[in-house]
């Protein structure tokens, strides 16, 4: 199997991640619920992982890292916990449905919503934000990188425009966390939402939020926390305020090991390896007659390891199935839960075939993909 669907989930987890999950399932109890060795072991792993994530993104404090089940959980918690019907929110056509659907729900309740288009480079122009700002604008929710094209938005410049107008900058880092270096203090981000099962190489069912200490998010859920048992209300301090119920400590143990792996290899090394693989793949794709590439590509361009294509007018789902049947090449076709981006690209009917690489992708695998695409194109003309 040639696995090129890492934007959906990373499949090849480091062995140390698998070992950590197995160990956790055999030895770890419920964090914060009792003082047994098993419960304390879970608490220590969760604390360590919180600290490692905070170090990875240069956060202010590990207590501002909140664990969730995935980026969707993170974004729903933030969006539904920050905004009211009197607010105005800005977002973009690049967003995943994990952003759009919660915002549409708020819009139905009276919240105002503005959606910014992409520019000719397939990204958001920071200067275009200004004309959408209103007296009641509270924040902008924006993806760090498109899950359709892999293009990276100029987040630092976007944050500056927003902060110049005293607005919050909320970033969806689903496609970049673990693959692209992120420094939340240098970028001056207010909130960062991420998942653990993609480029962080952790288990599914893990994710989180980084939030500045000055920002108070109303809890999406309330319940057991292991502290303040006799209070009628959810604790207000982070991270407990947003972590009701038993955490996925087994998954977090795997994420903890994944962070050790990433720190050992180095995010900068991973980014450079993916970029070299991407440049190689794109250079080969561009030689296939009749192929359409989406997004912008330049040598050594800082972008995610995503390449989306179409072959003529052939439906993307057909190409995906042909790749599986001919060489067991795993990709993804269709709309990728990003409807507005597909409308912007003109691919809302055809979809696109998305190849998403990882640093462990091999050049020989990419050569096989190229040969297979050429054969499909020849056979279907």
Q: Give the pLDDT confidence of 320-376 residue by residue, as tens digits.
A: 999 999 999 999 999 999 999 999 999 999 999 999 999 999 999 999 999 999 999
Nearest Cα to 79, choosing from 145, 142, 8?
Answer: 142
Question: What pLDDT sits at residue 362?
Answer: 98
Instruction: Give me the pLDDT at residue 334, please.
Output: 96
Which CATH number is associated with domain 15-265? 3.40.640.10
Domain 267-380 classified CATH 3.90.1150.10?
yes
Which strands make up the sheet holding 88-92, listed edge to edge?
65-68, 207-211, 191-195, 168-172, 137-143, 88-92, 112-116
Position of tokens 């275009």? 128
Spell out, as residue ranges, where the chain has pLDDT lower than 70. Answer: 32, 224-229, 231, 300
Phi then psi for residue 171, to 5 deg, are -115, 135
- The pLDDT value recorded for residue 225 is 65
Q: Of all helices (H) and strands (E), which one includes residue 101? A: helix 97-108
In the sheet that 291-294 helps form, which strands lie side by side, from edge to edge? Answer: 291-294, 306-311, 353-356
Read off the pLDDT of residues 191-247 as tens digits, 9 standing for 90 and up.
999 999 999 999 999 999 999 999 999 998 877 666 666 767 777 789 998 998 889
Best CA proximity match to 77, nearest among 299, 287, 242: 242
List the chain domain ranges. 15-265, 267-380
SS percent in the chain: helix, strand, coil, step 5: 40, 15, 45
Q: For position 229, what pLDDT does the model report? A: 67
């Amino acid at each position: 199997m040639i696995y090129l669907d890492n934007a959906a989930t990373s499949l090849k987890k480091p062995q140390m991640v698998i070992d950590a999950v197995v160990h956790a399932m055999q030895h770890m109890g419920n964090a914060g619920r009792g003082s047994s060795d098993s419960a304390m072991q879970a608490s220590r792993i969760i604390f360590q992982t919180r600290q490692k994530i905070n170090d990875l993104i240069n956060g202010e404090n590990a207590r501002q890292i909140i664990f969730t089940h995935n980026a969707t959980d993170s974004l729903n918690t933030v969006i539904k916990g920050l905004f009211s019907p009197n607010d105005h929110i800005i977002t973009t056509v690049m967003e995943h449905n994990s952003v759009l659907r919660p915002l549409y729900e708020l819009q139905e309740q009276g919240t105002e919503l503005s959606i910014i288009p992409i520019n000719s480079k397939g990204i958001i122009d920071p200067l275009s934000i200004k004309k959408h700002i209103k007296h009641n604008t509270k924040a902008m929710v924006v993806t760090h990188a498109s899950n359709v094209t892999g293009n990276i938005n100029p987040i630092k410049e976007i944050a500056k425009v927003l902060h110049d107008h005293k607005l919050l900058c909320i970033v969806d880092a689903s496609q970049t966390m673990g693959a692209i270096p992120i420094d939340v203090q240098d970028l001056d981000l207010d909130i960062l939402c991420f998942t653990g099962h993609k480029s962080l190489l952790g288990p599914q069912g893990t994710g989180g939020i980084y939030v500045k200490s000055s920002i108070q998010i109303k809890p999406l859920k309330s319940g057991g926390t292991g502290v303040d048992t006799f209070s009628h209300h959810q604790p207000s301090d982070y991270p407990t305020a947003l972590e009701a119920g038993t955490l996925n400590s087994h998954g977090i143990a795997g994420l903890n090991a994944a962070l050790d792996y990433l720190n050992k290899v180095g995010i900068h090394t991973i980014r450079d390896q993916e970029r070299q693989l991407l440049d190689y793949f794109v250079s080969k794709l561009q030689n296939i007659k009749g192929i359409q590439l989406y997004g912008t590509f330049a040598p050594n361009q800082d972008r995610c390891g995503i390449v989306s294509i179409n072959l003529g007018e052939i439906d993307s789902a057909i190409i995906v199935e042909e790749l599986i049947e001919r060489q067991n090449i795993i990709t993804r076709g269709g709309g990728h839960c990003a409807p507005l981006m597909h409308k912007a690209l003109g691919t809302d009917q055809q979809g696109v075939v998305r190849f998403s690489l990882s640093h462990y992708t091999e050049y020989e695998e990419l050569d096989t993909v190229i040969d297979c695409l050429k054969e499909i194109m020849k056979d279907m003309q």
